[in-house]
């Protein structure tokens, strides 16, 4: 089994996602479930970017990925990143973001999903995302973490190709022990925040930052439920006096 996560900018503006867009996506996710996804959810809403994540058996990965993209197309206020998808490497443009990670067969499907948003495609966002991957690697009770963000044409299973210009990355990590979700997520969040001009936001927050900045949301996707990790992280990092 894997978790698959697809991120896209399909909003009608450059800073936020409308309530209608969010509702339309969520109302359509049953179609992905019908294709064989164990669980599927709109895990992240970050600035003008959305991330749909699903737990799926390996042999259904391509079908479910295609289904997620179809839901995004049907719900889109603006085709945006969807227009960059191509069936050939030569035709690939700035497109959707993609991440996948393996789930152990004998464990509940629990994962951490980070969704990033930039206002102007700030290139250092790849370094920020990769620092969260480095933070997760080797930690106790981590099953797997998605691949590094690289500047190259990428083939997304069941969907097509996107170009190196694709920005606003997604990172997913799968966790083997429920009590380790907070530990691993905190390490990943802390790594991201250690970079310059990076801000953690709550799910659905508008991109109210100066250009040259990166925002990201962090979600725990646990047995079909989503938890906005910005809320407990904010509470845990208050300095007691």
Instruction: Give the per-residue pLDDT at 19.
Output: 94
- Evaluate whether residue 79 is within a structural domain: yes
Instruction: Classify residue 63: in a domain, yes or no.
Output: yes
pLDDT tens string 178-204: 999 999 999 999 999 999 999 999 999
In a domain, 241, yes or no: no
Distance CA(40)–CA(124), nearest Å, equals 30
What is the mean pLDDT of the segment spanning 213-220?
Answer: 96
Residue 232 CA to residue 27 CA, distance in Å, equals: 27
Q: How many domains does the chain have?
A: 1
HSE value, Cβ hemisphere, 13 Å, CA-based, for 186: 12
Task: Provide φ and ψ at 25, rounded to 5°.
Answer: -65, -50
- Record the tokens describing residue 227, joined without a space: 């938890």
E strands in 10-147: 39-46, 49-56, 97-102, 110-118, 142-145
Cα separation, 198 vs 212, whole angstroms? 9
Question: What value does the mean pLDDT take over residues 72-94?
Answer: 94
Nearest Cα to Cα of residue 204 among 174, 230, 234:
230
Domain span at 160: 2-236
Q: What pLDDT, on the 0 to 100 scale, is given for residue 107?
A: 82
Instruction: Give percent above pLDDT 70 in the chain.
Output: 100
Mean pLDDT of 76-84: 92
Q: State residue 181 phi and psi, 5-degree precision.
A: -60, -50
Q: Give the bridge partners for 228, in sequence order.
A: 219
How far is it, in rounded angstroms, from Cα 96 to Cα 240? Answer: 42
Residue that is written with structure tokens 């996506």 in the block: 25
Question: Using 50, 70 and 90 to split pLDDT, how confident is the model at 64?
Answer: very high
Using pLDDT thresholds of 50, 70 and 90, give the confidence band for residue 41. very high
According to the model, what pLDDT value does residue 210 have?
82
- Report whether pLDDT(146) > 90: yes
Residue 23 lies in a domain: yes
CA distance 215 to 200: 6
Tokens 């464990």 belong to which residue?
Answer: 107
Percent of the chain with pLDDT over 90: 84
Q: Which two tokens stand for residue 72?
A: 């995004």
CA distances from 96 to 1, 84, 145, 227 (A): 22, 7, 19, 23
Residue 23, CA distances (Å) to 77, 129, 139, 215, 241 in order: 12, 28, 36, 22, 42
């Amino acid at each position: 089994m894997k978790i698959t996560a697809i991120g896209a900018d399909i909003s009608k503006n450059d800073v936020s996602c409308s309530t209608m867009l969010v509702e339309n996506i969520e109302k359509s996710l049953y179609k992905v479930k019908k294709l064989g996804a164990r669980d599927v959810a709109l895990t992240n809403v970050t600035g003008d970017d959305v991330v749909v994540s699903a737990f799926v058996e390996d042999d259904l990965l391509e079908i479910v990925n295609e289904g997620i993209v179809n839901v995004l197309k049907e719900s889109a206020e603006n085709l945006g990143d969807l227009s960059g998808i191509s069936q050939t490497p030569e035709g690939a443009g700035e497109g959707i973001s993609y991440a996948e990670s393996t789930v152990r067969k004998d464990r509940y499907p629990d994962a951490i999903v980070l969704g990033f948003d930039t206002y102007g495609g700030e290139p250092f966002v790849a370094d920020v995302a990769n620092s969260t991957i480095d933070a997760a690697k080797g930690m106790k009770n981590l099953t797997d973490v998605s691949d590094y963000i690289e500047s190259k044409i990428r083939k997304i299973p069941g969907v097509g190709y996107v170009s190196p210009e694709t920005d606003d990355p997604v990172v997913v990590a799968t966790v083997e022990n429920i009590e380790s979700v907070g530990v691993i997520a905190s390490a990943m969040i802390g790594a991201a925040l250690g970079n310059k001009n990076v801000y953690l936001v709550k799910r659905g927050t508008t991109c109210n930052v100066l250009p040259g900045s990166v925002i990201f949301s962090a979600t725990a996707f646990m047995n079909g439920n989503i938890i906005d990790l910005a809320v407990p992280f904010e509470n845990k990092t208050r300095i007691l006096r």
